[in-house]
Structure 1
Amino acid sequence: MESRPEDYLPEALRDEPSVRREPLLTLPGALTAYIVLLAVVHLQVLLPPDLEKWTIVVFGFIPKRYDSSLLAAGFPGGEGAKVWTFVTYSVLHANLSHIGFNVLWLLPFGSALARRFGAIRFFAFMAVTAAAGALAHLVTHEHALEPMIGASASVSGAMAAAIRFAFVRGSFLSFNRGDADAAARVPAQPLWRALRDRRVISFLAIWFGVNLVFGLGSIAIGTEGVSVAWQAHIGGFLAGLLLFFLFDPVPRTVPARQDQI
């Protein structure tokens, strides 16, 4: 007998006649709030040029800031910027195409994740994956002066987390249900099982291939134009894939195993 998304809901909810069924294309509140946040922050481009540059320096992620040199000590923001820029860089964008590209990828993957996690977990997850992307950028761009900005590390993390349950029957990539909430709450595959799924492996191969070859997404602003911080994407993606279990509120239906993440 074919299983249905509602079969994965807790029994008390499964039999509740008032359970709300929501179309797949309706955005959850947490994702809507996140997109609005990106749009509001992007209004900084309307500031006078000097003030806009100051905003990017104070809230963008700059590897040079973590040097012990006197030059690093002179960055605006002081010691506090060494902490908050691990996250704040991710809500800044260079232009409308930059922010639009990130939002476009968030619509399917971020929507499912926001439904599954709820608002608090979703925003915490986006912050953690942003920090992981910044750390990857710091390790691979030591002493770099160019500020890195963009939500691409968090978007990559959301994509990675979503594939832990996206290919399970009844999930949002099945396209056979109109109940978005139920489709977002199917039990996730353990990591060891997901990495044996050919569909997941194919997705990983395509994603890493696109990022390594084209480096689409997050942008670093420098004196010589724009460059792509693809290492930050990979950092965010790996964090989303590996740390998904810390945020996932949906119980597993498979027996626990020692190697299960």
Structure 2
Amino acid sequence: MSEREPILNIPGVVTALSLAMIAIHAARIFLLSDDADREVLLTFAFIPARFEPSLAGTWFPGGAAGDVWTFVTYGFLHADWTHLAVNVLWLAVFGSAVARRFGTLRSLVFFAVTAAAGAVGHLMAVGTAFVPVIGASAAVSGFTAAALRFVFQAGGPLSPMRASGEDAFRVPALGLTAMVRNGPVMGMIVVWIAVNVAFGAINLPMPGFEGQIAWQAHLAGFAAGLFLFRFFDPVRAG
């Protein structure tokens, strides 16, 4: 039992992020009318049409400040309980490993940065179309990519002979070149990309809107987590 404890023990920052997502979704479902919920989505979802010059400052709540905060706040809104559950469970698995390595502050900033990267990827993919995106999937994808940099390393939390306690989360990370040569890591990356692209045609139920799974945002969040990992990693190589 003691050998499994580091994986099963979810860090406080992951718990806090998950509870915030659950509380927000519950409030939207049980407390808000459809009209009020649409207002929440217009205010906090990431909607590329905000950056359409002909609509600037005339239609969306929040104005210029909303143009900034929606790059992150969309990550706390979800289409339904299934969408939320998938993100919370995925964050619990891979986000916990990364949070144990990064600590609370780095993890919170990493969540914001990878969510923002996902929004940028979505914006680049759809232009200024009215195609809202919600959900923590881009940030969760970033945490997944970060976790793949070290969880399969010798002594890491998912290696056959992992180290004890917190040492499992402090093993040296794989470099990008080494990741390409690592079978398990590349296998997971290929499967992850294929699943995200395959599910890109699924419609998400949003009151008053039509949306699809924003797989481009997921890929952008994943890429950000992969390439920005070294700027957040407190464990020095060598």
- TM-score (norm: length of structure 1): 0.83
1:195 is matched with which residue: 166, 169, 180?
180
Give deviations 1:115-140, integer Å, cap 9, x for gaps.
00000000100100000000000011
Number of equivalenced pairs? 233
Q: Which runs of 5+ in 1 are unaligned?
A: 1-20, 254-261
Q: Distance in 2 between matches of 1:81 and 1:159?
A: 28
Q: How far 1:178 sits from its partner (Å)? A: 7.6
Pair 72,144 (structure 1): closer, same or farther in 2 beyond 3 Å: farther
1:65 is matched with which residue: 43, 50, 61?
50
Correspondence list, 1:92-241, <5 A: 92-174=77-159, 176-177=161-162, 179-215=164-200, 219=204, 221=206, 225-241=210-226
Residue aligning to 1:39: 22
Q: Distance in 1 between matches of 2:203 and 2:150?
A: 25
Q: Is the 8 A contact 1:149 1:219 kept in 2?
A: no
Pair 100,70 (structure 1): closer, same or farther in 2 beyond 3 Å: closer
Q: How far 1:37 sits from its partner (Å)? A: 1.3
Q: Distance in 1 between matches of 2:216 and 2:57?
A: 22
Q: Distance in 2 between matches of 1:221 and 1:54?
A: 12
Q: How far 1:45 sits from its partner (Å)? A: 2.3
Give the 3-state SS of the residue equivalent to 1:73 in structure 2: coil
Q: How far 1:55 sits from its partner (Å)? A: 0.5
State whether structure 2 residue 79 is matched by structure 1 residue 79. Answer: no
Q: Distance in 2 between matches of 1:111 and 1:88?
A: 21
Pair 213,237 (structure 1): closer, same or farther in 2 beyond 3 Å: same
> Which one-letter code corresponds to 2:111 in the other structure?
M
Q: Distance in 2 between matches of 1:205 and 1:66?
A: 33
Give the 3-state SS of the residue equivalent to 2:170 in structure 1: coil
Q: Which runs of 5+ in 2 are unaligned?
A: none
**The 10-residue stretch of structure 1 (179-188 or 123-132) with the greater mean CA deviation from structure 2:** 179-188
Residue aligning to 1:25: 8
Pair 224,64 (structure 1): closer, same or farther in 2 beyond 3 Å: closer
Misfit runs of 4+, over 6 Å: none
> Which one-letter code corresponds to 1:94 in the other structure?
A
Q: Distance in 1 between matches of 2:200 and 2:97?
A: 25
Pair 165,177 (structure 1): closer, same or farther in 2 beyond 3 Å: closer
Larger helix share, 1 or 2 = 2
Q: Distance in 1 between matches of 2:95 and 2:76?
A: 15
> Which one-letter code corresponds to 1:45 in the other structure?
I
Superposed CA RMSD: 2.2
- TM-score (norm: length of structure 2): 0.90
The structure with the largest alpha-carbon Rg is: 1
Identical counterparts, % of pairs? 46
Give deviations 1:59-110, integer Å, cap 9, x for gaps.
0000000010047632111111110000000011111111101112112211
